[in-house]
Amino acid sequence: MKNKLLPVFITSIFIIIFIIFYKSLQDTNIYIPQKKINKEIPLFSADLFSSSKKINSTELFISDKFYLLNIWSSWCVPCRQEHPLLMNLAKNKKIEIIGINYKDNKVKAQSFLDELGNPYKNIIFDKEGVNAIEWGAYGVPESFLIHNGMIIDKYIGPLNKELIKKIKLIIE
């Protein structure tokens, strides 16, 4: 009886291991970033782009309006592509766009805005990229839709017409 039990036991262990490996084979090995939404906005103080003043994150999102926090940089090519869409979105009165200027040179960032326009109500100057990490960002460009102090959606990569439509639908 004991001798019969052992092969059954070993076979069942092999079957379990096979199932685990077989299931893992079907999983994608391409990393998809987690979208951590429906969270409160992070608390931090940051430098403003326009002056050397410091501002608290809570002071930027005080009203019950919708906010779009956009992480951008003058050296980022996809940021140039999404910029006209942000300029268009900034015309909507129900939303305010806040920028985080990520690891940039102030002069170059300013000439970027002079050339393409400034859709931002306020810009945070994130010289070391630490503020972007506070938001759980991976790089530039990245945008967060905020309402009542909560992150309600996150867009990794450049915004496109479909995403802008989606944002407009949410805020209307």
Partner 1 sequence: MKILKLLFIIFFIFSFNHLKADHMDVQNKITKNLRCLICQGQSVYDSDSEFANSLKVLVENKLNDGLSESQIYEYLKDKYGEWILYDPELNKNTYILWLLPVLIFLIGGAIISKSFIIKKK
47, 80, 139, 163: which one binds partner 1 (CB under 8 A): 139
20, 25, 43, 169: which one binds partner 1 (CB under 8 A): 20
CB of 66 to partner 1, least distance (A): 22
What does the per-residue mask of binding to partner 1 show for 112-131, with x meaning CB under 8 A?
----------------xxx-
Cα(52)–Cα(54) distance, integer angstroms: 7
Told to check if 34 binds partner 1 by CB under 8 A, we report yes
CA 118 to chain centre: 20
**Which is nearest to 69 in space by CA: 169, 152, 4, 168?**
152
**Which is nearest to 69 in space by CA: 107, 6, 46, 11?**
46
∠ CA 100-149-66, nearest 5°, is 70
Cα(126)–Cα(116) distance, integer angstroms: 20
47, 80, 105, 134: which one binds partner 1 (CB under 8 A): 134
Query: For the chain, how far is it from start to end, CA to CA, in angstroms?
Result: 72
Told to check if 133 binds partner 1 by CB under 8 A, we report yes
Told to check if 157 binds partner 1 by CB under 8 A, we report no
For partner 1, the closer CB: 78 or 129? 129
Residues 85-114 within binding reach of partner 1 (CB under 8 A): 102-103
Residues in touch with partner 1 (CB under 8 A): 6, 9, 13, 20, 31, 33-34, 36, 102-103, 128-130, 132-136, 138-139
